[in-house]
Amino acid sequence: MKLYRQILLLALTLLVFVSSTGISVGMHLCGGELRDISFFGAEADCPMEQQKEKLPACHKVPASDDKAKDCCDDHTLVFEHADATADSKALILTKPLDLKFVAAFKAVILQFFAPEADLKPTYALYESPPLARDIPVLVQSFLL
């Protein structure tokens, strides 16, 4: 349960971070197939371009062919933070604070963060076993 709670808190933290800052996703398509995905605008080199650079000068094909240029395609998706507070007016709340709601909210929220203590067994009703014989009387020696 504790692991699930930590995973959920991490996922929600990342969601808040991404939604408040925005994210950029770049996709590189080669021959109609997705070859590379990059986040935050970092672009990777195209494998097709790297192969062309490795060829010696005598084997290079002129770059006038339009099909070679159309083989690769780059797409960039940008998700920006939309600031809704800049367009809205300040709203002043005049309703008094509901104490029953605050008490219930506090009880529920504090229950999530309260440490779970292991219950130790108590021996309040434990009675010792009865003695079979009185040992001090058996050990003593009486002089008459």
**Residues 16-68: tens digit of each pLDDT:** 887 777 778 888 888 778 888 887 766 666 766 655 555 566 655 555 554 44
Average pLDDT over residues 8-17: 90
71 sits in the region (left: phi over 0; alpha: psi -120 to 50; else beta) called alpha
CB atoms within 10 A of CB 86: 6
Average pLDDT over residues 67-79: 72
Domain boundaries of the chain, sorted by first residue: 2-111
Question: What's the 3-state SS for 90-140?
Answer: CCCCCCCCCHHHHHHHHHHHHHHHCCCCCCCCCCCCCCCCCCCCCHHHHHC
CA–CA distance, 64 with 46 (Å, rounded to integer): 19
- By the 8 A CB rule, do 71 and 30 touch? yes
Residue with structure tokens 């020696």?
Answer: 141
Cα of first residue to Cα of last residue in the chain, in angstroms, is 75
pLDDT the model gives residue 79: 77
11 versus 43: which is more confidently predicted? 11
CA–CA distance, 125 with 27 (Å, rounded to integer): 71
